[in-house]
Homo-oligomer: A and B are copies of this chain.
Amino acid sequence: MSNRREVLLDAAVRVLGGRGMRALTHRAVDAEAAVPVGSTANYFPNRESLLGAIVERISARERANFEEIARTVSPTTPAELARVLGAAARDAAGVHRELTLARYAILVEAGHNAAIRRRVAENGSRVDAWFAVWLRLIGSHDPGHLHLVANYLTGLILHQLAVPDPAFDPTAMIAGFLESLVAAVGTHESETAGRTI
């Protein structure tokens, strides 16, 4: 927080999430962070290094966020897990809107930027680990379920960010989703579920 580098990176995330990839310039980050012009260019000599550092920063903040959540809850039923994930989704599209938009902008960037793709691949899927833990807690042991949940949440949040629904109620939607998974496991023992990656 006090470190100048992190101040600049958090400002960069706000610019990226709030105004998009095109607005992410050295000078815009300087202005957002209220530091003298040139500061960002000194820490991140070119755009690539700035983007790379943003990937790390976003990953770190999301990981910290989920570790905080995991410290306070420990869901053992689908309904409980739905509340946990629902709250996380609501925050992602609400309080953490800019951070989340920045994350999606980075994902799209990874689609046509090999250097960023590599960094995303390295730093990604750390929060997925928590999904895996929680899924095991509610009795889902199919590794395919992890990808189902992760992809579903990704799509859910992206749509809410793009075209917000004022009545967004992620908990109810996720509850239905999880009930389906668990019910299916009870029914035919997961032999048809998605394969591991």
A181 at the interface (CB under 8 A from B): yes
User: Interface size on A (CB < 8 Å)?
Assistant: 58
* A88 partner residues in chain B, CB cutoff 8 A: none
| Residue-wise interface mask of A (157-186) relative to B, using a CB-CB cutoff of 8 A (1 in contact, 0 not) | 011011101010100111111011101101
Bound complex: CA A153 to CA B101 (Å): 19
Which residue of B has the minimal Cβ distance to A186? B187
Contact B175–A194 (Cβ < 8 Å): yes
* A97 partner residues in chain B, CB cutoff 8 A: 111
Which residue of B has the minimal Cβ distance to A109? B20
| Copies of this chain | 2
Which residue of B has the minimal Cβ distance to A97? B111
Cβ contact of A20, chosen from B112, B155, B175, B180, cutoff 8 A: B112
* A117 partner residues in chain B, CB cutoff 8 A: 162-163
| Chain A residues numbered 16-39 whose CB sits less than 8 Å from any CB in chain B | 17-22
A70 at the interface (CB under 8 A from B): no
Which residue of B has the minimal Cβ distance to A19? B112
Which residue of B has the minimal Cβ distance to A103? B108
Q: 19 extra interchain contacts, Cβ-Cβ under 8 A, other than A17-B112, A151-B159, A155-B158?
A: A104-B104, A147-B173, A148-B173, A150-B159, A151-B155, A152-B152, A154-B158, A167-B197, A173-B194, A173-B195, A175-B192, A175-B194, A176-B195, A179-B188, A179-B193, A181-B184, A183-B183, A183-B188, A184-B184
**A144, A158, A174: which has the most chain B beta carbons within 10 Å?**
A158
